């Protein structure tokens, strides 16, 4: 296991290129289970999570070649309908093989998922949607077991207590592409990653209307064919580098991101006095001398992403003044508060709110990475802090940031890995 060592407190400079989106590539890879024909997926990020999904597809019977960032998925025989605990438990994204396996094979047995330690993460909406399509569902020994001789189109509302669900939408959408008749998903997630999945499914021959909206209408087809897709740029990786530039008062050019996916962050930063501007395919962060504290509340897309909350908190921790950060997607996602406080931050949690009394500077400290995005918040804090920060369990970062240490080194950060 590696730890990441950062000598912080110096501005960075240069250009960083954004990889393909982790949250887009996982359901796209799962969608290849819907066809026996070859599929090509381009701009696949080299991440622990993408590799886990590739391993899972191999274990289900797919043949997969990866060349650079291109992945070709082919069939090499009959598919297995069992997605094992040891792979699914390491990553929640792998649960979205459930819908495709059920639609393709008429049965699926998928372990209940794992993933980040960010609070209770139920799968009731996934099951509600598949049940509405006609699946029989039971639970046995930590596995979800689903069967359906025929899936039939229907109308289903997928809104939950915290709004729409990204992966439940992906699961039900994928199952509906091969169902008999028309399915309407009301309160569907409209995240860009779901839009990317819809475009891939359409390229495979699926009939989907309302792409990018909260209402998806799917007319089932008998079979899907092979297709090719480019994975969209990772908006969370891009947002992390933008926040890192703001927190360290750096001049960073962010290449290859989609500005249109970042409006909630850009708008918040504008209120804080930080201009984030687009020049061709490059995003530039124009840093003022002083940044104002601003509060933020997370919501499903197009609201402020929960996956940037920890990184935004790190920025506010080094911004003099008070800001309130409210979590409306995962009310318990505050595991990073204690670690930021170890670095000298002054943050108090009250229910779904964190009250940040920002100040400069923070001081380097040994801290523990606990989940993927919380760890990214610690990297930002470490780069902005004076002195040496050690981030233990850096494998969390490798789940979602391609080549993070080398990208930061190229920007002039003093950063290296050491064995624990």
Provide the binding-site residues for ligand UD1, judged by CB under 6 A: 23, 26, 92-93, 121-126, 160-162, 165-168, 193, 306-307, 329-330
Locate tokens 């003093």: which residue?
Answer: 414
- Sheet with 228-230, strands from edge to edge, namely 62-67, 70-75, 39-42, 228-230
Facing residues of 253 across strands?
Answer: 15, 284
| Shortest distance in whole angstroms from residue 376 CB to ligand UD1 | 12
Cα gap 6→404, rounded to integer Å: 12
Handedness of CA 95, 27, 305, 162 (dihedral sign): negative
Helices and strands (DSSP H and E) totals, the chain:
14, 24
Q: Which is nearer to ligand UD1, 241 or 274 (CB)?
A: 241
| Shortest distance in whole angstroms from residue 25 CB to ligand UD1 | 9
Cα gap 151→313, rounded to integer Å: 44
Q: Which is nearer to ligand UD1, 127 or 411 (CB)?
A: 127
Please report which helix (H) or strand (E) contains residue 62, including its range. Answer: strand 62-67
- Dig out the tokens for 45 from the structure: 């990020």
Instruction: Give the Å distances, CA to CA, from 253 to 106, 172, 244, 298.
Output: 48, 38, 12, 26
Q: Is 198 an annotated catalytic residue?
A: no
- Dig out the tokens for 51 from the structure: 């590799």
- Dig out the tokens for 200 from the structure: 């891939």
Q: Which is nearer to ligand UD1, 124 or 420 (CB)?
A: 124
Q: Which is nearer to ligand UD1, 165 or 240 (CB)?
A: 165
Choose the catalytic residue: 39, 96, 116, 198: 116
Q: Which is nearer to ligand UD1, 307 or 390 (CB)?
A: 307
Q: Which is nearer to ligand UD1, 85 or 299 (CB)?
A: 299
Give residues with Cβ within 8 angstroms of 122, minimum separation 6. Answer: none
Q: Return the closest-CA partner of residue 231 out of 56, 69, 30.
A: 69
Contact by Cβ (8 Å): 367, 391: yes
| Shortest distance in whole angstroms from residue 189 CB to ligand UD1 | 6
Positions marked catalytic: 116
């Amino acid at each position: 296991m590696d730890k990441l060592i950062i000598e912080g407190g110096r501005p960075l400079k240069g250009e960083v290129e954004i990889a393909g989106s982790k949250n887009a590539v996982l359901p796209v890879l799962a969608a290849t289970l819907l066809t026996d024909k070859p599929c090509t997926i381009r701009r696949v990020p080299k991440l622990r999570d993408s590799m886990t999904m590739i391993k899972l597809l191999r274990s289900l019977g797919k043949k997969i070649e990866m060349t650079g960032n291109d992945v070709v998925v082919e069939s090499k025989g009959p598919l297995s309908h069992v997605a094992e605990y040891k792979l699914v438990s390491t990553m929640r994204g792998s649960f979205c093989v459930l819908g495709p396996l059920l639609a393709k094979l008429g049965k699926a047995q998928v372990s209940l998922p794992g993933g980040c330690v960010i609070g209770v993460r139920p799968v009731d909406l996934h099951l509600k949607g598949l049940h509405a399509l006609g699946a029989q569902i039971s639970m046995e020994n930590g596995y979800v077991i689903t069967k359906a001789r025929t899936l039939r189109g229907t109308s289903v509302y997928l809104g939950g207590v915290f709004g729409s669900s990204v992966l439940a939408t992906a699961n039900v959408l994928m199952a509906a592409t091969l169902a008999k008749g028309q399915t309407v998903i009301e309160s569907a997630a409209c995240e860009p990653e779901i839009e990317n999945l819809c475009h891939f499914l359409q390229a495979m021959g699926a009939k989907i209307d309302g792409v990018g909206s909260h209402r998806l209408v799917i007319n089932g087809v008998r079979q899907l064919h092979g297709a090719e897709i480019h994975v969209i740029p990772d908006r969370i990786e891009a947002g992390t580098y933008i926040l890192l530039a703001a927190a360290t008062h750096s001049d960073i050019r962010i290449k290859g991101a989609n500005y249109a996916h970042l409006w909630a962050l850009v708008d918040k930063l504008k209120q804080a006095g930080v201009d984030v501007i687009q020049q061709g395919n490059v995003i530039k962060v124009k840093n003022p001398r002083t940044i104002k504290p601003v509060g933020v509340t997370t919501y499903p897309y197009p609201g402020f992403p929960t996956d940037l909350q920890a990184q935004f908190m790190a920025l506010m921790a080094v911004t003099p003044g008070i800001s309130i950060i409210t979590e409306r997607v995962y009310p318990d996602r505050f595991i990073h508060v204690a670690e930021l406080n170890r670095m000298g931050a002054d943050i108090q949690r009250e229910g779904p709110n964190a009250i940040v009394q920002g100040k400069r500077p923070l001081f380097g400290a040994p801290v523990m990475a606990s989940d993927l995005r919380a760890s990214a918040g610690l990297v930002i804090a470490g780069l902005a802090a004076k002195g040496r920060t050690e981030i233990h369990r850096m494998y969390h970062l490798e789940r979602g940031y391609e080549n993070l240490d080398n990208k930061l080194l190229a920007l002039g950060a003093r950063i290296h890995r050491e064995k624990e």
